[in-house]
Amino acid sequence: MIERHRGTGDDAFRLVLRPNASLTPSQARLLIGMVGLMMGAIGLGFAAVGAWLVLPFSGGELLLLGYALSYSMRQSAVRETISVSRETIRIEHMGPDRKDRREFLRAWFQVEWQPGPTPRLRIGSHGKWVEVGAFLAEEEKMRLAGMLRQLRTQAF
């Protein structure tokens, strides 16, 4: 998802990139609770007729679902901010496990589109490149590339 903002201070323009997040943390807890109740009822029903071994497996499945949801939500917390000022373009990548910041002169930065099975969009200058929007769909990457090319020549 691409959000456009008018910048504050020295930044004339900002783009905030983030992956689509389908669940909020409270919705994920509700989902785990509902699935847990359903699996517990089914497991207790099987245990009542003598198939008690179903209970630990249903508990294991619930733990696995909880881990998968927490991992997915942690990955959806990634944000990339592209700030454009009169002289520079700054790319900040903020994620659960890393924080990175690159800055390029606006007059020299290039936008490179690499087509293929997993197309890549890179921004760089003088041999230093950074990939942006790796989590975006191909159409969003193409739209972002157009926006960045337009920002390169746009006067502020």
> Where is pLDDT greater, at 57 or 107?
57
d(CA 119, CA 54): 45
Residue type, position 53, single letter: L
Residue 124, classed as helix, strand or coil, is strand
pLDDT digits (tens, 9 = 90+) for 48-105: 999 999 999 999 999 999 999 998 888 888 899 998 888 888 999 998 788 899 999 8
Distance, in Å, from the CA atom of 76 to the CA atom of 19, rounded to the nearest integer, reads 6
Average pLDDT estimate for 112-129: 89
Are 40 and 88 in a shared domain? no
Same structural domain for residues 71 and 132? no
* Tally of domains within the chain: 2
Mean pLDDT of the chain: 88
pLDDT score of 75: 84
Q: What is the pTM of this model?
A: 0.72
Distances (CA, A) of 85 to 35, 47, 50, 94, 102: 49, 65, 70, 20, 14
Answer yes or no: are the C-beta atoms of 25 and 62 closer than 8 Å: no
Q: Domain residues for 60?
A: 25-75
Residue 103 and residue 36 in one domain: no
